[in-house]
């Protein structure tokens, strides 16, 4: 049984932003999957475009913030490109914030 839940990890991921877009990576639709197994977390995510110059910074920020959670020993961040990200993945809440 995991001490940390998937939902708790997702809440932490909502504190990570793409520096070029004022939306967190969860609402931006960049997080494709979160799996918690004991004190290890595996995250599959993408970027708004392959070759994004901030990609390594964002992935490292995800890893650092998740590993800082009490009860988490290791976080693995895997960048994936399938399916490709599109603006349609942005959450309705984030779209509302953008449109204000």
Mind listing the pLDDT tens digit for each residue in 1-44? 568 999 999 999 999 998 888 899 999 999 999 999 999 999 99
pTM here is 0.91
Domain containing 55 equals 6-94
Residue 42 lies in a domain: yes
User: What's the CATH number where 36 sits?
Assistant: 3.30.300.130
Mind listing the pLDDT tens digit for each residue in 40-74? 999 999 999 998 889 999 999 999 999 999 999 99
The predicted pLDDT at position 100 comes to 60
| Mean pLDDT of the region 88-99 | 82
Non-local (6+) Cβ contacts of 51 within 8 A are: none
Residue 100 lies in a domain: no
Q: How many domains does the chain have?
A: 1
Residue 85 lies in a domain: yes
Residue 49 lies in a domain: yes
Residue 1 lies in a domain: no
Task: Show the tokens assigned to 72.
Answer: 């988490």
What is the C-alpha to C-alpha distance for residues 75 and 62, in angstroms, rounded to an integer?
A: 8
């Amino acid at each position: 049984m995991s001490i940390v839940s998937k939902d708790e990890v997702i809440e932490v991921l909502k504190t990570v932003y793409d520096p070029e877009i004022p939306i967190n990576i969860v609402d931006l639709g960049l997080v494709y999957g979160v799996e918690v197994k004991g004190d290890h977390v595996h995250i599959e995510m993408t970027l708004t475009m392959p070759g994004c110059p901030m990609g390594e910074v964002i992935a490292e920020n995800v890893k650092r913030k998740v590993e800082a959670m009490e009860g988490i020993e290791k976080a693995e961040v895997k960048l994936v490109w399938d399916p490709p990200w599109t603006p349609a993945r942005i959450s309705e809440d984030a779209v509302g914030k953008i449109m204000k």
